[in-house]
Structure 1
């Protein structure tokens, strides 16, 4: 007989010989909830990132559930700021881990509901057991390789720097309006230094210093943007990204749009049909058809927001 045995247990089905564990990941501490489906859950708290303590919790949970060291361990955690390192480490320890989309976890629909790390851990544990019993209870994310994950950093940093550049430009313009100075040129552009030199004496000294420091930060952001864009153009010219070049051959799709779509979606994900693709990008419809109400609420916006924004822009 195998170590995994399914036996009736009241109205539920209990799975013997396997340990289930949920992770509630916080900034300073992690809450672990574990059970074999036969006993009540055991709860542990470890410092965030303490992998040795996690292994010790697994050992203690096995002992409490009277499971052998070879008993299979299933775990789950929500996608978030910790990225994929924990998933890869757990997999390397022989633990069957999954990363789930937080938005797909069912919640109580009352206007006010209790929410604590303990309740969240218990909920994840129950849903993990249901998932391994064959129910489709949530959305499981696909893991990119470390190389694929790292390849997404370039365009994400470019997007962040572009937002910072806009913020600095708007800030400088707003500070100048305090003294009725309207900038007729692009802040930080080719004619900005000349314009500012002619008008800087009209600004009080403290505010003048603030604007000049803001201008220095703007210049640094523009310098980093220029360097990143030049490096990306060089890689494309050297043929290091053939999928990007192939997609860019389509009409109305340039290298910037092709880069985002390939690195975020098409370069590492595989789709069986267009419905899967639309679901990944959050482009599926969300009808509301209940009783006498028939409303189309628009696209779900539940997928990759960067790729979706690029597709909407290209459209």
Structure 2
């Protein structure tokens, strides 16, 4: 083993211990399993120092997952390259049915050496903090939905039906407060559920207020008002999209962004046979869900509502023009696909795919404006 060799290190990360394997450079280079080490910073520094004494160049990799990006930042700070790879894009043999920490680490090292791994975009610590805030708000929203469903399920079991159309407004809450139940135990259970629902709703309000206060000094803050000019996208949705996707400039075309979001059709074609299925659902599911929710607003004719006017006026002129172009096209597209008999859910997904392209265009326009401003 020479000091000037290049080595590729695969790390199978876990909560307490990381499995490490090293692949020597070259097509026939040796692949060695180094064992498991603690996940502490001191243990990783010791490992990197030991490998640096034997190899001129080191390249590390591990799968993106719940362990986050701390390990990548640590290795980069020590002067070495570390890739965080997309687990869904790691090549796997169809007949390989054995999975262990050692095999995973060795496989990562081999694939890294072969250049077969796809790295994910690494956010900085500030961007990651904004992402955590938006995800906390999304979790609170899901919790609120569950709390409301519990109340509805209980009333359905008791045969109590709300006569109105819209629920969880002031009238519906008044009806719930005045509801007479046969047993004291039932009333106690309902009150506890309603209290939990109110607490979940207040939690969402606090998180949304935190998002409004935090995004002002964010690196992507100038893009947020521009995205809010789009129909169906408010401040929370705009911040969520940017926090989840990150820097859109890394996508050379709208099609790449669509594919990243998993909004393109899956395909299984061979020879003269062409088979296309549902969307791939690859990439970031949270951003995809926000776009699909926004797409439903395009089933209405193009217009700018009273509450939306302030957001549109605050956006740059170029963003306003793109947003209006999107309204005209996507509302027409929604009606056209609906008249052809497409399911409404399929239509909304198709609109979300095109909506991603308009968001990409706004980001590019705003980035070009910001670049040209100093000149």
For the superposition of Structure 1 and Structure 2, which TM-score range results when normalised by the shorter chain? 0.7 to 0.9
Compare relative contact order (CA 8 Å, sep 6+) and give the higher one, 1 or 2: 2
The aligned counterpart of 1:57 is 47
- Normalized per residue, the structure richer in helix is 2
Which shows bigger deviation, 37-46 or 159-168? Answer: 37-46
- Deviation of 1:52 (Å): 1.4
2:31, 2:110 within 8 Å by CA — same for their partners in 1? no
Q: Assess, with a 3 A threshold, how the Cα gap between structure 1 residues 41 and 150 changes in structure 2: closer, same or farther.
A: same
The aligned counterpart of 2:57 is 72
- Deviation of 1:238 (Å): 10
SS at match of 2:121: coil
The aligned counterpart of 2:114 is 130
Q: Assess, with a 3 A threshold, how the Cα gap between structure 1 residues 285 and 197 changes in structure 2: closer, same or farther.
A: closer
Structure 2 stretches lacking a partner, 5+ long:
296-350, 352-375
- Structure 2 residue corresponding to 1:43, chosen from 34, 37, 40: 34
The alignment status of 1:119 with 2:110, answered yes or no, reads no
The alignment status of 1:173 with 2:152, answered yes or no, reads yes
- Structure 1 residue corresponding to 2:262, chosen from 266, 282, 300: 282
RMSD: 3.1
Give matches, 1:193-272, under 5 Å. 194-199=174-179, 201-203=181-183, 205=185, 207-233=186-212, 241-251=221-231, 253-265=233-245, 267=247, 269-272=249-252
1:79, 1:102 within 8 Å by CA — same for their partners in 2? yes
2:269, 2:275 within 8 Å by CA — same for their partners in 1? yes
Per-residue Cα deviation, 1:185-217 (whole angstroms, up to 9, x for no partner) = 677653456444544542452x54443333222
- Structure 2 residue corresponding to 1:151, chosen from 130, 138, 147: 130
Q: Assess, with a 3 A threshold, how the Cα gap between structure 1 residues 91 and 213 changes in structure 2: closer, same or farther.
A: same
The aligned counterpart of 1:19 is 7
Q: Assess, with a 3 A threshold, how the Cα gap between structure 1 residues 294 and 238 changes in structure 2: closer, same or farther.
A: closer
TM-score by length of structure 1 reads 0.78
Distance 2:57 2:246 in 1: 34
- Deviation of 1:162 (Å): 1.2
- Normalized per residue, the structure richer in strand is 1
Distance 1:179 1:237 in 2: 48
Distance 1:152 1:286 in 2: 28
SS at match of 2:120: coil
The aligned counterpart of 1:109 is 94
TM-score by length of structure 2 reads 0.67
Distance 1:236 1:75 in 2: 33
Distance 2:213 2:49 in 1: 51
- Structure 1 residue corresponding to 2:16, chosen from 16, 28, 31: 28
The aligned counterpart of 2:67 is 82
SS at match of 2:250: coil
SS at match of 1:26: coil
Structure 1 stretches lacking a partner, 5+ long:
5-16, 132-136
Distance 2:212 2:63 in 1: 36
For this pair of structures, how many residues does the alignment match?
289
1:257, 1:310 within 8 Å by CA — same for their partners in 2? yes
Per-residue Cα deviation, 1:155-212 (whole angstroms, up to 9, x for no partner) = 322222111111001112212333333345677653456444544542452x544433
Q: Assess, with a 3 A threshold, how the Cα gap between structure 1 residues 40 and 235 changes in structure 2: closer, same or farther.
A: closer
1:188, 1:215 within 8 Å by CA — same for their partners in 2? no
- Deviation of 1:33 (Å): 1.5
